[in-house]
């Protein structure tokens, strides 16, 4: 399977390149960066620390889609929307790990999914996706008498907050309670806030160092507390999950899929 990587010079892009080069059943179709990037013209594989593969980093995403069976995207929300249109145009599977997506970006992915297979997840880690399922189940069983707080920490370079994974965990908890996250989300506390409102789902965001990603879902009740925790020690787990998702799309019909689908419990 020929896999292309958009944003191949970024931290995640380089890791995805390495996983494709090391993976079975796939070959590297190439990689792109935005116009003006210092990485343009570099060898894609060498940029990721591998042996030169004779594939130069380019800025023509359309050409990359034309020669790929699947493309992996860890770029930016607006770029992902453009890539979704290219995937639909070429009938190429798209795997999206971009965070910070808003309604318009999700709409672009849904439109593309009419023409090609799209796998979108706030987090590509198998462990995190298991955590999502457990969070929904716990929220359903424990009920409103347990306060839910979601705490996440990432490296100092992360630009969106709360993380996409934290929001996905909040959505899972809300689904377990049969409510919309937007109606119960509490993201900021400062000053004299008054008592906690029953049923709220709170978020706390921490940033610093080189933390790959840590998430905790806390169910705090009277006399006891249940905590579900996931800690990623390397971003490689996200790249590995993305490549797994790309391979999974082989032969799949058009549609919008989740990592739960890829792992068999969607």
Separation CA 17–CA 31 (nearest Å)? 8
Beta strand pairing status for 213-221 and 147-154? antiparallel
Separation CA 153–CA 162 (nearest Å)? 9
User: Which residue has tokens 């591998």?
Assistant: 50
Work out whether the CA dihedral 230, 162, 263, 234 comes out positive or negative: negative
Separation CA 133–CA 169 (nearest Å)? 9
Separation CA 7–CA 59 (nearest Å)? 9
* Burial (0-12, 13-18, 19+ Cβ within 10 Å), 60: exposed
Does the annotation count 90 as an active-site position? no
Catalytic residue among 83, 90, 154, 230: 154
Does the annotation count 158 as an active-site position? yes
Separation CA 151–CA 202 (nearest Å)? 8
Question: Catalytic residue positions?
Answer: 154, 158
């Amino acid at each position: 399977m020929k896999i292309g990587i958009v944003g191949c010079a970024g931290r995640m892009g380089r890791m995805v390149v390495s996983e494709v080069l090391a993976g079975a059943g796939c070959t590297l179709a190439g990689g792109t960066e935005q116009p003006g990037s210092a990485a343009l013209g570099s060898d894609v594989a060498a940029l990721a620390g591998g042996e030169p593969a004779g594939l130069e980093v380019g800025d023509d995403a359309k050409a990359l889609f034309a020669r790929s069976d699947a493309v992996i995207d860890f770029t930016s929300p607006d770029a992902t929307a453009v890539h979704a249109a290219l995937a639909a145009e070429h009938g190429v599977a798209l795997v999206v790990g971009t965070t910070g997506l808003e309604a318009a970006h999700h709409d672009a992915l849904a439109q593309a999914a009419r023409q090609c297979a799209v796998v979108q997840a706030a987090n590509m880690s198998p462990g995190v996706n298991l955590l999502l399922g457990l969070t929904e189940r716990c929220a359903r069983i424990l009920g409103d008498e347990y306060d839910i707080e979601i705490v996440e920490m990432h490296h100092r370079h992360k630009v969106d907050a709360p993380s996409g994974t934290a929001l996905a965990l909040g959505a899972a908890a809300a689904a377990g309670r049969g409510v919309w996250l937007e109606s119960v989300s509490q993201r900021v506390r400062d000053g004299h806030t008054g008592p906690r409102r029953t049923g709220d789902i709170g978020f706390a965001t921490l940033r610093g160092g080189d933390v790959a990603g840590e998430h905790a879902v806390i169910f705090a009740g009277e006399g006891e507390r249940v905590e579900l925790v996931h800690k990623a020690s390397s971003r490689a787990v996200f790249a590995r999950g993305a490549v797994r998702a790309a391979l999974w799309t082989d032969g799949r019909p058009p549609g919008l899929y989740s990592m739960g689908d890829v792992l068999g419990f969607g």
